[in-house]
Amino acid sequence: MPFDLPGQGDADAAALCVHGLTGTPYEIRPLALAIVGRGIRARGLLLPGHGTSPEELARSTYSDWVDAVGEEYRALRAQHNRVFVVGLSLGGVLSLDLAIRERPDAIAVVGTPLRLGTPIRQLVPLAKYLMPMLEKREGSDIRDPEARARHPGYPRMPLASVHELVRLQRRVVAGLGRIRAPALVAHGAHDRTADPRDAERILQGLGSARKERQVYPDSGHVVPVDYDGERLSVAIADFLAGCL
C-alpha cells in the first residue's frame, strides 16, 4: 500500500508519487524504485476512498484527493530542499492541480486525462444516479496480459468518482498556463482510458519553460507496469535527477 522509500544517496530531495483512480500505490512503485536509485526519496500515498471499497470511493470528492496530495507535499517540502511530484492518470491530474497552486521543483505525469470524451462528461452527472457502478470487464488498461492479471485495484468504477474527475479536470484546464515547473508528459500509445492526444494538449497548455513529451509505443494506460514500464521509469528518474 503506501510506501516511503529513502533515496540511495545524499540528494536533499523527495518525490511524491500519486496513483490513479481505483488504483493503488502498487502501480507507481516501479517509478519510485528508479527514482530512489538517483538518490531521491520517493513517497507514495493512498488516495482517499482507495484501498477499501468502490462504495467508499464513491463517497470521496475531488477536494478530498486534492487535500491529501497537498498535505503530503507540504510535509515533504518541510523536510527537503527540492520536492518533485509524479502522477499517473488521476494522479497526473492531481499533480497538475498542485503545480498550479504550489511550486514543485519538477513534475512528471503519465497517462493523464485532460478531458473525458463526449458524451461521457455531459452524461455522467445524471448517469451516476441511474448506474452508480460500472464493471471493469476486461480489467485494467494494460497490454501485458501477465501484468494485467496481477494488477490490484477495484473491479468496479463508481460513476460518482468519474464526475469528480470531470470537475477536477475543468479546474486544471483553466489553470495549466500558470504552471512553471519543469515538466515531463508521458503517455502510452495504446491508451484506451485517456486520449493520447491529451499529452500534447497538456504540453501546449503548460507555462513551463522546460517541458517535454514522450510516447511509449507498446503500452496502454498504466505504463509503469506495462511493456514500456522500465523505459518510463528510467526516463522519469533521469528527468528528476536533471532537476536537482
Quick: pLDDT tens for 97-130: 999 999 999 999 999 999 877 566 667 776 676 6
pLDDT at residue 56 greater than cutoff 90: yes
Find the angle CA(167)-CA(189)-CA(132) to the nearest 5 degrees. 35
Radius of gyration of the chain (CA): 16
CB within 8 Å of 193: residues ≥ 6 apart: 89, 111, 113, 141, 220, 221
**CA pair distance 31, 237, nearest whole angstrom:** 7
pLDDT score, position 126: 64
Percent above pLDDT 90 for the chain: 84
Q: Which among 115, 117, 74, 107 is positioned nearest to 206, based on CA atoms?
A: 107
Residues belonging to the chain: 244
Quick: pLDDT tens for 175-211: 999 999 999 999 999 999 999 999 999 999 999 999 9
Q: Catalytic residue positions?
A: 89, 191, 221
pLDDT at residue 148 greater than cutoff 80: yes
Which residue carries 515538466 as its cell? 183
Which residues face 42 on adjacent strands?
A: 5, 15
Domain range list for the chain? 3-241
Is residue 5 within 8 A of residue 42, CB to CB? The reply is yes
Q: What is the pTM of this model?
A: 0.95
pLDDT at residue 9 greater than cutoff 90: no
Is residue 212 within 8 A of residue 236, CB to CB? The reply is no
**CA pair distance 28, 24, nearest whole angstrom:** 8
Query: In sequence order, which ranges of the chain are alpha helices (DSSP H)?
Result: 29-36, 54-58, 62-77, 90-101, 120-130, 145-150, 159-175, 197-205, 229-241
pLDDT score, position 97: 98
**CA pair distance 84, 95, nearest whole angstrom:** 10
Architecture of domain 3-241: 3-Layer(aba) Sandwich (3.40)
Q: What are phi and psi of 179, to 5 degrees?
A: -75, 130
